Structure 1
Amino acid sequence: MADILWLASYPKSGNTWVRAFLANLFANRPGPLDINELNRFLVSDQRVGEYETLTGKPYEEIDDEEVNRLRPQAQRMIAASRPDTLLCKTHSKIAVLKGSPTVEPSVTSGAVYVLRNPLDVAPSYADHFGIDLDTAIDYLCDPNNHIPRHDRLTFVYLGSWQEHAASWLDAPGLRRHFLRYEDLKSDPERSFAGLVRFLGLPLDRQRFQRALRFSSFGVLRRLEEQDGFVERSPNAERFFRQGRSGAWRELYTPAQVERLVEGCRDGMRRFGYLDADGRPVEGALPLAQTAGVQG
């Protein structure tokens, strides 16, 4: 059996951007890859085919309790679907739900974790899920937060923003690579080169530069405008919205900022989103000035 290298993040944190870079790197085409082909190169743990195979039932007849119980087997099937290490997108928090792990350790070879300032996550989260900003703030601070099943995608246990990050970045024995959205924005070449090295891939300069260009926000947004994007929520006008860091300053009331910071304070301080006085910063502090990541 092969194993899984997880590409993990809270929703609306840059997971799709990283997938687009990797897919363009793997495809190595002379032009940008169709964004609707991303799942050819990186699969999702929310897909339902494995559950239908395990139960012999259509997904509509499989309840969430059964999905939770079968998740380890489904992930072993995902791992077995390829002969070598498989990159798999997940939004799951590492946890045990009713005795069943959300991330099966026996097929896990490591993880890439993408983190974004929760003040920027919340407006994108609200747009994607068709809720208002106050509700999104509540969700990001809620230890019981989850994404309900929808279409042909399983439910996902998220937990709060800071618990989600800690579950991946503090998991004992997990080989991991940490990416902040803000670092990807400010220095994409350095950040993505670090990812390529972590994956053990050769750093062919021309191929790498093409993948960077073809996965830029402007290109991804243009491709969505031309061809649509299957991952766009029906609640949202577009998937690729602004792609900026710090846009939250134009959207929040002071009370909303205070409420989100209060609910995410420990994680925001740890990962460089608050200054020494506990105030939100523009972008993020250099990682050298933060508490850092274990392992």
Structure 2
Amino acid sequence: MAALDKSCLVGPVPFKDVHGDDDHVISPPDEYADIVSTLPSIGSPDLHLRLYQDVWLFNELVPGFISVQRRFTPRPGDVLLASPPKCGTTWLKALAFATMARAAYPLSDADHPLLRLNPHECVPFMEALFSAGQEAKLDALPSPRVLHTHMHHSMLPRSLADNPDCKIVFVCREPKDMLVSTWHFIKSAGGSSNSSFSDLFELACEGKNPYGPIWGHILGYWRASKAAPERVLFLRYEEMLADPVSAVRELARFLGVPFSAAEEAAGLPMDITAMCSIDTMRGLDANKKGSSGTFVKFPHETFFRKGVVGDWVNHMSPEMARRIDAIVEDKLRGSGLTFSS
């Protein structure tokens, strides 16, 4: 694709269209090395986690979390897509980008970004860039920017979490399905080769899975959405899957770009959900080939497995399911949030 004139761009624009295949040398911020070295750690070389601010993080990303907290400067209009891993992140990135950028990138355009790029090449993973010392890349994005994070709400810089000029969209998933999807993703990406699903399950029950504890991740955004619904939208993957068109309408309204009567009459909400469906995205060359990632390159095809509800029954015994259900129910008690089995 021809180079973009960045001086006249209005966002959101695909991250890769601004930066191309530019892979700068990774230079993690070394001023946090002493902090990281003192943090509790668990796991193996291919699944090494450290406990930072009560959250278990991948070792190589801890400097990025600290750097985001200390250095990130939000802009008015920033949209942050937040999620635990494997909860519909790729889908949410596609839906949000297509919805927000529909004026600049009509769905009828054969060169639409989501037809030629993986959604992760459109919406950058914020703390990975900060971990690599590449946060300046975000400055080159025109506003409004769409960014992604796996940070717990409690870890977000206050300048972002409490900013009335920024929006946060959080998506979560039934924890058992999330764990199964996480396991498959780790395995398909070549990680944790000597571990079993039961190992990940045990860690999750103890709150020590990647980005865990699960309940802390979910509760933080749930409470924030109740306290400030105009700033934080809380979505559940299962509800989105059951009625994706309504989910897209809700997303558009929240982001301040509701569909017009003409767009509704033309079926645009349905067209966006069709373009961004897992079946459509899985079939695109952009998602069959190539890879994305900063420290680890994840094959694009690994982001599209099943995307269904209830796959946990093929991986967990009834006893395992009852155990994790009981733990999650106990941790969420009194919040008004529940997950059905």
Q: What TM-score does the superposition give when structure 1 sets the normalisation length?
A: 0.69
The Cα shift of 1:103 comes to 1.5
The one of 78, 94, 109 equivalent to 2:153 is 94
Alignment match, 1:176 = 232
In the other structure, the counterpart of 2:320 is 256
- Using the alignment, how far apart are the partners of 1:224 and 1:117 within structure 2? 30
User: Are 1:210 and 2:276 matched, yes or no?
Assistant: no
SS at match of 1:200: coil
Please give the alpha-carbon distance, in whole angstroms, between the structure 1 residues aligned to 2:181 and 2:329. Answer: 20
Determine whether 1:244 maps to 2:308.
yes
For the structure 1 residues 268 and 123, does the alpha-carbon distance in structure 2 shift closer, same or farther, using more than 3 Å as the test? farther
Q: Give the 3 Å change call, closer, same or farther, for CA 24–43 of structure 1 in structure 2.
A: same
Note if 1:191 corresponds to 2:269. Answer: no
The one-letter code sitting in structure 1 at the alignment partner of 2:167 is: G
Letter in 1 for 2:119: L
Between the aligned partners of 1:229 and 1:184, the Cα distance in structure 2 is 28
Aligned partners of 1:217 and 1:243 also within 8 Å: yes
Q: Which residue of 1 aligns with 2:69?
A: none
Residue matched to 1:29: 107
Secondary structure at the residue paired with 1:209?
A: helix
Out of 124, 147, 152, the residue aligned to residue 43 of structure 1 is: 124
- What are the within-5 Å matches in structure 2 for residues 260-275 of structure 1? 260-266=324-330, 270-274=336-340
**Maintained 8 Å contact 1:36/1:230:** no
Q: CA deviation at 1:244?
A: 0.8
Residue of structure 2 in register with 1:85 after alignment: 144
For 1:83-128, what per-residue CA distance to the aligned partner results, in whole angstroms no more than 9, with x for missing partners? 5332211111133xxxxxx322213423111010011111111111
Aligned position for 2:171: 114
Q: Structure 1 residues 49 and 260, CA, compared in 2 at 3 Å: closer, same or farther?
A: closer
Q: Which residue of 1 aligns with 2:190?
A: none
Alpha-carbon distance in 2 for matches of 1:105, 1:164: 17
Give the match for residue 35 of structure 2: none
Q: Aligned partner of 2:157: which letter?
A: E
Aligned-partner SS, 1:29: coil
Deviates more, 1:194-203 or 1:30-39: 30-39
SS in 2 for 1:125: helix
| Cα distance in 2 for residues equivalent to 1:6 and 1:239 | 20
- Structure 2 CA distance, aligned partners of 1:263 and 1:8? 23
Check whether the contact 2:289–2:299 (CA below 8 A) recurs between aligned residues. no
2:235 aligned counterpart, secondary structure: strand
Q: Which runs of 5+ in 2 are unaligned?
A: 1-73, 188-194
1:280-291 correspondence runs (5 A)? 280=341
> 1:162–1:264: 8 Å Cα contact kept in structure 2?
yes
Q: Which amino acid is the alignment partner of residue 2 of structure 1?
A: R
Where in structure 1 are there 5+ consecutive unaligned residues?
54-73, 96-101, 147-157, 275-279, 281-295
Equivalent residue number for residue 30 of structure 2? none
1:42/1:87 contact within 8 Å kept: yes
Q: Give the total of aligned pairs.
A: 236
Give secondary structure in 2 for the equivalent of 1:128.
helix
Letter in 1 for 2:79: L
CA shift, 1:169, in A, is 1.9
CA 229–241 in structure 1, closer or farther in 2 if over 3 Å, else same = farther
CA contact (8 A) 1:129 1:235 kept: no
- Residue identity over aligned pairs, in percent, reads 22
8 Å Cα contact 1:17-1:215 kept in structure 2: yes
Mapped contact 1:2–1:82 kept (Cα < 8 A): no
- TM-score normalised to the size of structure 2? 0.60
C-alpha RMSD over aligned residues: 3.1
Displacement of 1:173 in angstroms is 4.9
What residue in structure 1 maps to residue 283 of structure 2? 222
Retained in 1: the 8 A contact 2:175–2:214?
yes
Q: Which amino acid aligns with 1:87?
A: V
Q: 1:169 to 1:226 in 2, by over 3 A?
A: closer
Q: Is 1:5 aligned to 2:93, yes or no?
A: no
Q: 1:162 aligns with which of 215, 222, 237?
A: 215
**Corresponding residue for residue 128 of structure 1:** 185
Deviation of the 1:251 alpha carbon: 2.3
How much has 1:19 moved relative to structure 2?
A: 0.8
Output one character per residue of 1:175-208: Cα deviation in whole Å (capped at 9) or x when no partner: 2111111111111111111011000003133433
Contact 1:116–1:181 under 8 Å retained in 2: yes
